[in-house]
Structure 1
């Protein structure tokens, strides 16, 4: 019995970006458009407000903004005429502004991974400093030893 035929290999000319394929490409293009609108529309707002709100979407002629609190949402609504004029000047067909209260995600706290030096390490640093002839290097070792003792 002859071996089964091998399936034909697809010829490729290297890797192709996932952003070049149908739905992903249109999604990436939409994200770029929304990002561009976000930057341009928020640039028309006064400084403290532009830093607090984000443009989220343009759907069915409605500009949707996200605000971290109802107080900031109210401030956005005060500028809706200005926002609509700016959107129209940018070529967006918008007739209304909606603001949703959506608290910003908390900032990620990066833990301090530096492990403090032990008392034993401080003693070794002092002993090493005593054997050094270079005064600058000796001072650095002593300073490090002092830091270790302060953390205890």
Structure 2
């Protein structure tokens, strides 16, 4: 058995002297998380290209992908698509200055908000007097399952025989 090629189990990490990994580093170390790495990279690239967009357009456009030599942007309305196409040469020049070999800008339109943190939350409307009274009555019925039993305390007693 001395000629066996089995050397025992291999360690999970080659260098165990470096200490524990941060959770995000552990996630990104696995090849299964390549899409996560790409999404983080695209987000960073979007942040670097955003200053080259007109301020009114920047709130409605987001870099979605870099597909070969094409920058793919997503906008939330057709009007912003037209405006982004007008500034396409400036965006392509900015991307080339960052070292990207891009030759074309593609713009897609979506119906969803580009920046989810800027979604308008539905605000609660003030309750009408009738609705408030109905709610209070419903809550009172939950507290006392037999409304009116306080008015007649003998209602719950068994008749004496």
1:31 corresponds to: 39
Say if 2:63 is the partner of 1:58: no
Cα deviation digits, residues 13-35 of structure 1 (max 9, x gap) = 778722211131x3232122211
- Of 11, 16, 21, 2:30 maps to 21
2:79 corresponds to: 71
Please identify the structure whose Cα radius of gyration is greater.
Answer: 2
Moved more, 101-110 or 90-99: 101-110
State how 1:85-124 maps to structure 2 within 5 Å. 85-105=93-113, 107=119, 109=121
- Structure 1 spans left out of the alignment, 5+ residues: 1-7, 120-152
In the TM superposition, residue 72 of structure 1 has moved relative to its aligned partner by: 0.3
How many aligned positions are there?
A: 110
Distance 1:19 1:87, change over 3 A: same
In the TM superposition, residue 66 of structure 1 has moved relative to its aligned partner by: 0.4
CA RMSD of aligned residues (A): 3.3
- Of 31, 46, 49, 1:41 maps to 49
Cα deviation digits, residues 82-128 of structure 1 (max 9, x gap) = 0000000011111000000012247374786xxx8969xxxxxxxxx
Distance 1:84 1:11, change over 3 A: closer
- State the secondary structure of the residue aligned to 1:94: coil
TM-score (norm 1): 0.59
Moved more, 93-102 or 12-21: 12-21
- Structure 2 spans left out of the alignment, 5+ residues: 1-7, 125-131, 138-161
Q: Hey, which of these two has a bigger chunk of helix by percent?
A: 1
TM-score (norm 2): 0.56
Distance 1:33 1:11, change over 3 A: closer
